[in-house]
Structure 1
């Protein structure tokens, strides 16, 4: 069996760090000495690992300026989708369908694999999301919602799944936020959302995979139904306004 080179192992650690910390294009990595201490590796091995990621296009080194994250792979894939979603907001339901399939499994694996640190992180994100309710900008709460769900994906310890989910949330937040924020301004929607998020958190913390998967899927089904109700309400308002305009002529 071929032995994995130390530099390859460090490169994997760096990729995981970039993904879990949400580093994006243009973000700078810590200084070499600090990064070596953080990863508990030698600086020569770290340099070799960084060169590997530079050759893969994940990092770029600037003379005298440090090492920076290049454009993440999923962003290249997401760019044409962002334009598509702006022209056709209905495609957000396609994203929800994919989330339904992926997040149920993510919750399952998180319940199996979450460490004590992961569980504390999930709980902290849940409490932050609840604390932001009623914020002047409803998107603050929507972003906290995404961070909560991603903390569960992180606890699944599946790097590929984490990359995919980050891309999906980026699509939702950057392209169709006009409906996501409304979820948090409707009392009849917020209370069930809070209860669903709490149930999901508690299922993962309790290490109950079946309960966690069920909680994730029921939550996403509710979100989809709620967004459809918002669309229907807005359509009725538009029709009513057009009718009043015609009558007033």
Structure 2
């Protein structure tokens, strides 16, 4: 993050703190700062931006008040998670008892993930591709080891990494909210059900097709891969778990 922040020149008709806040907020919107990322300590950040600490502190307080930054004890400022528990908690409760809630979330994912896949194929950076590839590798390793819980975790992380590669802050936050729900469902399903070996191979191939399309910068192929995968998942859920209980 050393090279992320740049000198802030005092604006002619606004407060310096507003200009500082604008640069930090722009990094969040453009995806260079992601939820959970920690900002440098105030002393270091003021040095990087070449501003006074009082002006920086005023900017940070403004961003905190607007819900863009959060303060963690002994950790300083971090980028806030925009998705509120008021969205995810009711869905988690519904998914415990209502199969239709699971199907509804998957239906929404079908639309969202085709869009994120296309945008990721067009916008993914080298860093994004590394994160996507790492998640795919970890998921495959866990599947081969028969570790359902870890496989589910990396499964969700893979899809989230694709969403983050879209560099669309609205989509990223929506997907983060959904995956806090879906991660729990996927983990429970993988641990509760014995997935057919053929289905595991299909899941691996579907995820690989998505990864390959994003890496190749082919949005049409990425959309096709996302559609095939989510259709497969929705079919499995709709059959009451006879198909693959994965995302």
Please confirm whether the aligned pair reaches a TM-score higher than 0.5, indicating the same fold.
yes
In the TM superposition, 1:47-126 aligns within 5 A as: 47-61=57-71, 66-67=76-77, 72-126=82-136
Cα distance in 1 for residues equivalent to 2:216 and 2:186: 34
Alignment partner, residue 230 of structure 2: 220
Q: CA deviation at 1:230?
A: 4.6
- The answer to whether the aligner puts 1:11 opposite 2:22 as a matched pair is no
Q: Runs of 4+ in structure 1 displaced over 6 angstroms? A: 62-65
1:186 equivalent in structure 2:
196
Pick the structure with greater CA Rg.
1
> 1:204: which partner in 2?
214
Structure 2 CA distance for partners of 1:183 and 1:208, relative to 1, 3 Å: farther
Q: Relative to total residues, which structure has the larger helix share, 1 or 2?
A: 1
Q: CA deviation at 1:133?
A: 1.4
**Structure 1: how far apart are the matches of 2:193 and 2:169?**
29
Contact kept, 8 Å, 2:83 with 2:177, in 1: the verdict is no
Q: Extract unaligned runs of 5+ from structure 2.
A: 1-12
Higher mean Cα deviation, 41-50 or 96-105?
A: 41-50
Q: How many residues align?
A: 225
Cα deviations by residue, 1:19-56 (Å, 9 ceiling, x for unpaired)? x3x52xxx97553345567xx43464643432122111
Instruction: Give TM-score scaled by structure 2 length.
Output: 0.76
Whole-angstrom CA distance in 2 between matches of 1:180 and 1:115: 31
Consecutive unaligned residues of structure 1, counting only runs of 5 or more, are 234-249
Q: C-alpha displacement at 1:78, in angstroms?
A: 1.5
TM-score scaled to structure 1, two decimals?
A: 0.76
Over 3 Å counting, the alpha-carbon distance change for 1:35 and 1:143 in structure 2 is: farther
1:202-222 C-alpha deviation (Å, 9 max, x unpaired)? 101111110101100110001
Stretch deviating more after TM superposition (129-138 or 43-52): 43-52
In 1, Cα distance between the equivalents of 2:235 and 2:200? 13
